[in-house]
Structure 1
Amino acid sequence: MTVLRVVNQAEALSMMQISKAVGIPYPTTCRIVNTLIDEGMLEREPSRKYYRPTAFVNTLSQGYKDHNDLVGIARPKLESLTAKHFWPVSLTTRVGQHMLVRDCTHSASPMALTNYQPGAAFPLIECASGHVVLAYSDEEQRQAWLDAAAGLDNASDPLIIERLRDPEFSETVRAQGYVLRGYNRFTNTPGRTSSIAVPIFSEGEICGALTLVFFSVSMKQETAIERYLPDLNRAARAITVKLAEASGDTARDRADKGAASELRA
């Protein structure tokens, strides 16, 4: 699944590129890619030795149902932030050991180095939004996710994982209300961008993050915080409020339907 995700995100990769991206030996990569070809999930490009996803990949999402209004509520805020500051902004939620881009404005930003699309994923342990989710999750869940991350074949730097285990990490993030990651490594342009992420909540629990990406060399990190954090926080709070309102409407709808059923009975 990791191989499939990496190829799907990049649109097409050579066998060596897949091996490096996933962090597994070349022979193992060949076996996995050939298995995915046999299953109809990948195919080799006719003109070169690159591998790309097939339309059959779409069948993997048929059983998935998204029952919240997060993307629809957040979209105007993403567009407004990019219109004002020009930098791309993304909305992400945690899926396993990754932060999944649910929506973003990279295609609308004149300052985007990469045209990321919904479905792109970044390691939970390495990205600003992942650190936000870890900081605002309960201690038992945070440690479980970190244990899982440490056990991966291509595990992140153990020092990063140990720092994230420290209760002081969570306390600091919650006190300041954001995470800044400089010189992002796990992107299509390693080291060239930095990110500021803030939390979004639903029913009292963190459900995702808003992240603004800027060029690492364009300004000091302190300047970026001063310039962009207030608007990011306002947008995140507005989304949280809208989610609460939507949740209340859904609860009322369920209650109304229940009452109607009782009357009919």
Structure 2
Amino acid sequence: MKNKRALLESHGLKCLAIGNHLVGQAVCDLIDERHQSIVPAHVWGDGSPEGVRQRAAQEMKDTARAAAAFGVKTVTGFTGSSVWHATYAFPPTSQAFWDKGFADFGQRWTPILDTFEAHGVQFALEVHPTEIAFDIASAQRAIEAVKGHRRFGFNFDPSHLGYQGVDYVKFLRTFTDRVFNVHMKDVWWGRGDGTVGVFGGHTSFGDPRRFWDFRSLGRGMVDFESIIVALNDIGYAGPLSVEWEDSRMDRVHGATESAAFCKRLDFPAAAGAFDAVFDKDKQARVGG
């Protein structure tokens, strides 16, 4: 741990959060052969679905311990979901069916969050299609499922909300005390040739037929100016973490321009009202 810290510091860098999305995905998912490619061999084991879920849960607890040992207070990640496959609600899906999914999430993640609590670390779910929370309504339900556990919050990423039609600025103003980390990632939507809808048409990213696709920061449709204003309004003081994905662009070029975009966009919150300068009493105190 000390050597890794020293390596970062030697390059003038800091680690403000660590992520464990892939293992977290396996905690609640209906496990299939795809998961073998994203989890470590010791988590996959013999591939029995419940065994994978249990080992993934243990790995997430160990992630909290590792974060604490490394001096990091936030872990970002996924939770998986046992009911995502029923999002479209056909065959007809009752609220009782979805309730079981949220109950499963609460049962599996509360002990994990208790470990986070024991080590003073936050877990920030990246609200995202395929997760237990993928919009504002499902995020509220997820909080309820873990009984408002104080270590459960969100890794805000507007790129997963905008193309769904979710008000991503409202998300920030709804969960003011649960935004633990921020991904700066752009997306555009309403594009393509009309043959592929919001569900993606089983096409690959970068396919020109797609209705939506991820873009390099500043080249999509996300209103980052409003996001920065909202983040300042709610008192967020954490990192702005660039998550870069753009199938059409060179990665080094994209990372370079995205870092510059963030630095140009960000600004410190005001110390007071702009018109306070006209307060004569304050002027007199300053002058005296």
TM-score interval, smaller chain: under 0.3
* TM-score, length basis structure 1: 0.26
More helix by share: 1
Q: Which has the higher contact order (CA 8 A, sep 6+)?
A: 1
More strand by share: 1
* TM-score, length basis structure 2: 0.25
